[in-house]
């Protein structure tokens, strides 16, 4: 059996490896001319690391990652703590795998090394998929320039602007959330006493919030800052703003946030868009995964994790129902749609929760969180069990 995979991001590479592990031949096409350093940090929570463990990649990722001591929330203007949930060994005991922070490029390099070792020559760069055509048996992937690739399966892992999704579902108009996000990565040594804590920390504020954590064994600090702004409805991952604009957005915030902005050499900025759940993720032997079918706002830090889960389930179902790939893809959708939709809704809810503007709402939101963290820390941890305790690799896992 052969799969053609469109997109060389985290979801596409993980799908390729999950299929290769089950004996499939894979041809992955990526439109970029090279895998260059893009993006910044991401959080690989235990539900994602269970897949990486099953693929034999856990140790390689840990070598490049950082283990946070806790998952916490603080107030962005005062630094006052709201709650703190132990991570490190406690996270692994409770949720069955480590909670890690990793630079996107480091994760991509681990995935690429595995691809080159397990299926050399299976990746093609500067190859842009523009559509597909159904065949009497299988599918034909159409590349820009006229080349056609045949396979038993086509996976659209081509992101939020997916050409596969557009042909399958039709053109759509994403909903602009009214939020813009900043991102930056800074060497820890440049931050001095204002270095962010060795945790995954959400800094909540009025109409804005920030997230800080460390990467590469603690050598780097990662910053994401989200502000409400209704004037920039453009999807882009590589547009830059200025240091002055970012500082104005987080004026009078804690030194840990302000110093990160001051020390950053580049201040990337992108608009956050949302899409409603799709009524299907497949058409015959063609399927979507990750952002191509369920783009997820970053307020639960689960976008990459969901794509990694998708990859494993899709490969498992295609292996189980190899004689009927369309049926396998329907099973994949039915297995994943409820969880993905719940994750999208949870991220959407956190967008509002992190940005409470008025004192009564702030007290009503953060007061119970603080009290719960003090009086019932086990309850606070249990609210994350459905996310981090999930295991698609377990027998009967969904």
* Residues classed as catalytic: 213
Q: In 128-174, which ranges are E strands?
A: 129-134, 139-143, 148-151, 153-156
Query: E strand or H helix at 245, and its extent?
Result: helix 243-249
- 17 close to 111: Cβ distance less than 8 angstroms: yes
Q: Give backbone dihedrals phi and psi of 315, rounded to 5 degrees, phi first.
A: -65, -40
Residue 386: phi and psi, rounded to 5, are -65, -25
Quote the CA–CA distance of 50 and 57 in Å, as a whole number.
10
Phi and psi torsions of 9, nearest 5°: -85, -165
Closest listed residue to residue 308, CA positions, set 293, 291, 290: 290
Cα distance from N-terminal residue to C-terminal residue, the chain: 24
The structure tokens listed for 75 are 């107030």
Give the 3-state secondary structure of residue 119.
Answer: coil
């Amino acid at each position: 059996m052969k799969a053609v995979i469109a997109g060389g991001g985290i979801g596409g590479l993980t799908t390729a490896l999950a299929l290769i592990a089950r004996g499939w031949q894979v041809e992955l096409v990526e439109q970029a001319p090279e895998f260059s350093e893009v993006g910044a940090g991401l959080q690989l929570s235990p539900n994602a690391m269970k897949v990486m463990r099953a693929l034999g990649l856990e140790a390689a990722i840990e070598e490049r990652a950082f283990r946070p001591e806790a998952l916490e929330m603080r107030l962005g203007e005062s630094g006052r703590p709201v709650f703190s949930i132990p991570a490190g060994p406690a996270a692994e005991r409770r949720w069955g795998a480590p909670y890690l922070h990793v630079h996107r490029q480091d994760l991509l390099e681990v995935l690429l090394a595995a691809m080159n070792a397990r299926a050399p020559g299976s990746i093609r760069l500067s190859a842009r998929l523009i559509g597909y055509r159904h065949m009497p048996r299988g599918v034909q992937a159409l590349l820009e320039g006229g080349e056609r690739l045949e396979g038993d399966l086509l996976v659209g892992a081509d992101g939020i602007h997916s050409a596969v999704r557009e042909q399958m579902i039709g053109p759509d108009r994403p909903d602009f959330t009214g939020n813009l996000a900043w991102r930056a990565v800074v060497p820890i040594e440049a931050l001095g006493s204002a270095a962010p804590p060795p945790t995954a920390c959400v800094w909540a504020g009025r109409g804005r919030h920030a997230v800080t954590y460390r990467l590469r064994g603690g050598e780097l600090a990662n910053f994401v800052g989200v502000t409400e702004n209704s004037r920039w409805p453009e999807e882009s991952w590589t547009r830059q703003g200025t240091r002055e604009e970012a500082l104005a957005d987080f004026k009078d915030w804690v030194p840990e946030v302000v110093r990160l902005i001051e020390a950053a050499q580049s201040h990337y900025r992108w608009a956050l868009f949302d899409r409603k759940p799709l009524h299907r993720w497949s058409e015959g032997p063609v399927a979507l995964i990750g952002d191509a079918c369920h783009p997820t706002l970053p307020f639960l830090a689960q976008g990459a994790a969901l794509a990694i889960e998708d990859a494993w389930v899709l490969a498992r179902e295609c292996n189980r129902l190899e004689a009927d790939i369309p049926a396998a893809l329907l099973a994949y959708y039915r297995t994943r749609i409820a969880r993905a939709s719940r994750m999208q809704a949870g991220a959407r809810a956190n967008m509002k929760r992190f940005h409470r503007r008025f004192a009564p709402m702030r007290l009503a939101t953060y007061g119970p969180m603080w009290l719960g963290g003090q009086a019932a820390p086990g309850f606070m941890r249990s609210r994350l069990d459905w996310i981090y305790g999930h295991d698609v690799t377990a027998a009967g896992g969904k």
